[in-house]
Amino acid sequence: MSRVVIKNLPSKCTEDTVRKFFKDYDPITDVSFKYTKDGVFRKFAFVGFDCDEKAQEVIKKYNQSFFGSSRIVVEECAPIDERNRIRPWSKHSKGSTAYKRIHGDDDVLENVNGKKFKSNKGISFKYENDPLFAEFLKVRGVKLDKKEETEEENSEEFLLNAIETYKGDKSVSLIFRGLPTSIKQTNLKEWLSPIRIKSCFFVNAGSEAFGFVQFNRPGDAKKALQRTNQFLGGFKVRICKFPEDAKPKEHNDEEMEDIDFEAERKKITDKILDTGRLFLRNLPYVCTGDDLTFLFKKYGELIDVQCVVNRQTGQCKGFAVITFMFPENALTAYTELDGTVFKGRMLHILPGEEKLEESGDQGGEKVLSKFQKEKNQKKEAAGKAFSWNTLFLGANAVADTLAEKLAIQKSDFLEGDDKNSAAVRMSLAETRLVNETRDFLIKNGVCLDAFSRPVTKRSDSVMIVKNLSAATDSEELKRMFERFGEIKRFLLPPECKVTGLVEFKLAVDAKKAFKGLAYSKYRTLPLYLEWAPSDVFNKDSEEEVKPTEPEVGTSQLNKQKKRALKLKEKYGDKFNKEAEDDDNEEEVDDEEEDNAAEEEDVKEEVKDEVKEEKEETDAGNGRTLFVKNLNFDTTDEGLKKFFSKGYKVTLAEVSKKEGKKAKSKLLSMGFGFVTFASVEDAEKALRKLQGALLDGHAVELKRSRRTDLIDHSDELKRKEVNNLKQGECTKILVRNIPFQASEKEIKALFTSFGEIKFVRLPRKVASASKHRGFCFVDFVSKLDAKTAFDALVHSTHLYGRRLVLEWAKESETIDEIRERTNKKFNDKPDRGPTTRRQIRGVVEEGMEKASKLD
């Protein structure tokens, strides 16, 4: 428990003095003083800390210590739970003996003829003026305090009359109640300072005064309204707006008793099961999104954690929204965490409203074209936590950048020669730019090892910007991202401006920028955005790193040459450039699909990817239905059999939880999910099977929101190249080679890094002219192999396909092969007879032994 209660505080104690007293345990998340209805301090307060350890240290150190001249008692705060509630002892707390002794006559008058009568306020009007009843109450010692009632009624009537006669602007005016009768305008101005008021006047109504204050702006009235229930000269001031109707609404105890709490609880439960969202209030300002993720992830998989922060301070505003993948997990979290202490504050959880989906449709469904559907799918997939290539460089950007560096035309660069083809030249150029980009990022404190290994956690404020053109302007690109919020760090290589890193100060701004700029067009090319790994920056580089600027003379010369080259090629390539890029991308995609079947016998990774993509397809696109009101005896097989009548079902699952008595036994939760093979089957089942009986229960069907959520199952398990050690190996295994590439081109590509022994490109059995998509490259020296591997492993493409490099396994010696074969045949355990003859012999032997025993 990170919240403590401090008793026996001095009467003149303030919040500032308490914070100074515990300043060694900062940050203090909450200090709550308790007062009576009359504004008298009850000499105890609640103090919250950001962790349990600090609260326990405070209890050990300060319990029975002195706060000024008062000996204080520091105890752990008890949770708000009826079962664990400590019996109250104070005269101000309901339920205590002292409270009943003082307020007993106000609550219940003990029996007259076996009946109970309510307090004076509840006496019927027919007994109110009865002299005999008054005499009876006098004998019983009960006094009717009619004076207070009449004064209260008169003050209410006086206030209503004053509101009706008020001539000021009620939209910027407030009513101040509970003011002292001797108050003056200067006192109120000092109390509201620095808020300025336009006019005010006071009305005395007996024991209290009312104030009508008009402000200059609605913002000032809103700020003043936040000071309600604060004290002015020992009087608790209540501030409220002018009511729409003159008569304010009153709530008495009888109306509260009429509220059906069971119905309210059921309403909250149904809403959480429908939306799967929780709205959190009263959060500490030191709370972060990671803290909430750690708190709620144990109840189920989270889709989104929105911690609303203040843009000026960067701290939490005190509320957040949590979205679960499965609504039943949200209900469990609500049941267990509502009213608990989180970082020193009482956590208040409410059911969240359903998230509004942005839609441009107006009146009916809008039919989207195939291009628009694919674009929307790409935007939705942009937020997923994986990407195929972090250091991606576009082919056009590579050619433009190298042509600019070499001061030649782009066409001359792509023509090729007898030694190297255009594809090899492009691969070598890309490798050079990738290495330059890596060197720049390392110099600016980026940990490149984070990109080489499989990422388990992604940053929520740092993103990678890819697919930039060679003509990228760093200032222009930075302004694009600054529209969404303050940028903490912006890294873009000065020479090769095709890949960069952007870090936002606030995670909220980063999410908005990611959503707004992903796949948006920048200089005729779509922006590719990807969340960077959480450890993308080195721990040593805590200070903001400014990118190195290029020399002025070189940059000016490059710009002039670039303009001269563009003037020659502008009119021929202006209109066809973008169309050619799209056609090339489509050709590459079609080519990969045609050759996928031929690579299955070579690449084991492709099988896993296809399997996981199939699972992703089955779970998405609106094919899943949410089934409620299931019988607790219904099983997964029974649920699948019920929906398989007339429909093709791929998955049926009943949600289960562990029982309290037997933890090993799973109990049904009364609902489940059914995934169909097609959207049409899901729609038909939703219409025809709504309310159908399953094991005696009428099922309720709804479209599941699991399809709209981010599915992390497609984060493929890629091999970690760094784990494959080179050792004494000089042979490299190269996968994903395009089928257009020849052995000569592969040899030319790797010869640039050292002398090669041989290149072995296995051929297909059916067609000797076609290779199998992988090869082995053996270098003469270990150093040359290491140089080639380090240069080409990061991001090198040949004919549009990325080359995947691994260290090949060293060939086994004759002795190792003999030892492995001998172990295979001699170390087998005795599994008994396997052939029919052996089994028959064992049976006959057993029968002979049995006959001898007879």
Q: Report yes or no on 609 lying in a domain.
A: no
Distance (Å) of CA 691 to CA 47, 298, 630: 53, 34, 11
Q: What radius of gyration, in Å, describes the C-alpha atoms of the chain? A: 38
Higher-confidence residue of 432 and 405: namely: 432
Of 383, 380, 708, nearest to 514 by C-alpha is 383
18 and 51 inside one domain:
yes
730 and 746 inside one domain:
yes
Give the confidence band of 668 by pLDDT, cuts at 50, 70, 90.
Answer: confident
Q: Report yes or no on 613 lying in a domain.
A: no
Residues near 393 by beta carbon (within 8 Å), at least 6 away in sequence: 430, 433, 434, 466, 496, 498, 499, 795
Distance (Å) of CA 252 to CA 7, 124, 249, 257: 32, 16, 10, 9
Residue type at position 529: L
Higher-confidence residue of 759 and 397: namely: 759
pLDDT of residue 615: 45
**Number of neighbouring beta carbons within 10 Å of residue 442:** 12
**Number of neighbouring beta carbons within 10 Å of residue 36:** 12
Each residue of 345-389: pLDDT tens digit? 989 999 988 876 654 444 444 566 766 666 666 666 555 544 555
Task: Say if residue 579's pLDDT is above 80.
Answer: no
CA angle, corner 496, sides to 491 and 498, nearest 5?
Answer: 70
Higher-confidence residue of 788 and 582: namely: 788
Most confident of 59-63, 109-113, 413-417, 834-838: 59-63
Q: Report yes or no on 161 lying in a domain.
A: yes
112 and 177 inside one domain:
no
Choose the weakest-confidence range: 85-89, 261-265, 396-400, 513-517: 85-89
312 and 414 inside one domain:
no
Residue ranges making up the domain that contains 320: 260-351
Q: Given 291, 325, 351, which residue is the final one in a domain?
A: 351
Please report, in angstroms and rounded to a whole number, the separation of the first and last CA atoms in the chain: 77
139 and 231 inside one domain:
no
140 and 72 inside one domain:
no
401 and 534 inside one domain:
yes
3-class secondary structure per residue, 662-724: CCCCEEEEEEEEEEECCHHHHHHHHHHCCCCEECCEECEEEECHHHHCCCHHHCCCCCCHHHC
pLDDT of residue 626: 87
In DSSP terms, 525 is beta-bridged to 522
Average of per-residue pLDDT across 45-61: 90
209 and 303 inside one domain:
no
544 and 430 inside one domain:
yes
Q: Report yes or no on 326 lying in a domain.
A: yes
Compute the Cα dihedral for 627, 632, 635, 641 and give only its sign: negative
Of 120, 86, 82, nearest to 5 by C-alpha is 86
- Percent of the chain scored above 70 by pLDDT? 65
Return the SS3 of 489.
strand
Q: Given 575, 606, 633, which residue is the final one in a domain?
A: 575
pLDDT of residue 728: 66
DSSP state of 550: P
Measure the CA–CA gap between 724 and 732, rounded to whole angstroms: 11
* Start-end of H helices in 51-140: 52-62, 97-107, 125-128, 131-140
Choose the weakest-confidence range: 306-310, 760-764, 838-842: 838-842
796: phi then psi, degrees, rounded to nearest 5 = -125, 125
Return the SS3 of 488.
strand
pLDDT of residue 565: 47
652 and 775 inside one domain:
no
Measure the CA–CA gap between 186 and 696, rounded to whole angstroms: 74
Q: Report yes or no on 382 lying in a domain.
A: no
pLDDT of residue 824: 61
Q: Given 300, 332, 351, which residue is the final one in a domain?
A: 351
Task: Say if residue 242's pLDDT is above 50.
Answer: yes
Task: Say if residue 278's pLDDT is above 90.
Answer: yes
Q: Report yes or no on 398 lying in a domain.
A: yes
Measure the CA–CA gap between 333 and 296, rounded to whole angstroms: 7
163 and 242 Cβ atoms separated by less than 8 Å: yes
Give the confidence band of 409 by pLDDT, cuts at 50, 70, 90.
Answer: confident
Of 596, 610, 581, nearest to 800 by C-alpha is 581
- Percent of the chain scored above 90 by pLDDT? 5
- Rounded mean pLDDT of the chain? 74
Most confident of 230-234, 661-665, 719-723: 230-234
Choose the weakest-confidence range: 533-547, 561-575, 833-847: 561-575
pLDDT of residue 143: 59
Task: Say if residue 170's pLDDT is above 90.
Answer: no
Task: Say if residue 339's pLDDT is above 80.
Answer: yes
pTM reported for the whole predicted model: 0.49
Higher-confidence residue of 706 and 705: namely: 705
Most confident of 230-239, 556-565, 576-585, 652-661: 230-239
Task: Say if residue 229's pLDDT is above 70.
Answer: yes
Distance (Å) of CA 267 to CA 82, 96, 847: 22, 33, 73
626 and 688 inside one domain:
yes
Q: What are the structure tokens assigned to 6, written together?
A: 């401090």
Task: Say if residue 799's pLDDT is above 90.
Answer: no
Overall domain count for the chain: 8
Task: Say if residue 528's pLDDT is above 90.
Answer: no
pLDDT of residue 540: 60
18: phi then psi, degrees, rounded to nearest 5 = -65, -40
pLDDT of residue 539: 64
Each residue of 441-499: pLDDT tens digit? 888 888 776 666 655 677 888 888 888 887 788 888 899 999 888 898 898 887 777 78
DSSP state of 739: T
584: phi then psi, degrees, rounded to nearest 5 = -65, -40
Residues in the chain: 854
The CATH code of the domain that includes 274 is 3.30.70.330
Average of per-residue pLDDT across 167-175: 85
397 and 543 inside one domain:
yes
pLDDT of residue 415: 72
Choose the weakest-confidence range: 811-815, 831-835, 844-848: 831-835
Each residue of 61-76: pLDDT tens digit? 989 999 988 999 999 8
H or E, element range at 649: strand 649-658
* Start-end of H helices in 63-145: 97-107, 125-128, 131-140
Residues near 12 by beta carbon (within 8 Å), at least 6 away in sequence: none
Beta strands in 716-803 (DSSP E): 731-735, 756-760, 775-779, 797-798, 801-802
Task: Say if residue 124's pLDDT is above 80.
Answer: no
Measure the CA–CA gap between 552 and 559, rounded to whole angstroms: 11
pLDDT of residue 407: 72
pLDDT of residue 546: 46
pLDDT of residue 519: 83
Each residue of 186-221: pLDDT tens digit? 888 888 888 888 888 888 877 778 888 888 888 888
Q: Report yes or no on 296 lying in a domain.
A: yes
Average of per-residue pLDDT across 13-20: 89
Measure the CA–CA gap between 852 and 854, rounded to whole angstroms: 5
Residue type at position 819: E
Residues near 391 by beta carbon (within 8 Å), at least 6 away in sequence: 434, 437, 438, 451, 466, 499, 794, 795
Each residue of 313-328: pLDDT tens digit? 878 889 899 999 898 9
Q: Report yes or no on 62 lying in a domain.
A: yes
Choose the weakest-confidence range: 28-32, 42-46, 48-52, 687-691: 687-691
Give the confidence band of 645 by pLDDT, cuts at 50, 70, 90.
Answer: confident
Measure the CA–CA gap between 728 and 754, rounded to whole angstroms: 17
Give the confidence band of 233 by pLDDT, cuts at 50, 70, 90.
Answer: confident
pLDDT of residue 7: 92
Measure the CA–CA gap between 356 and 708, rounded to whole angstroms: 13
Measure the CA–CA gap between 503 and 462, rounded to whole angstroms: 4
pLDDT of residue 609: 43
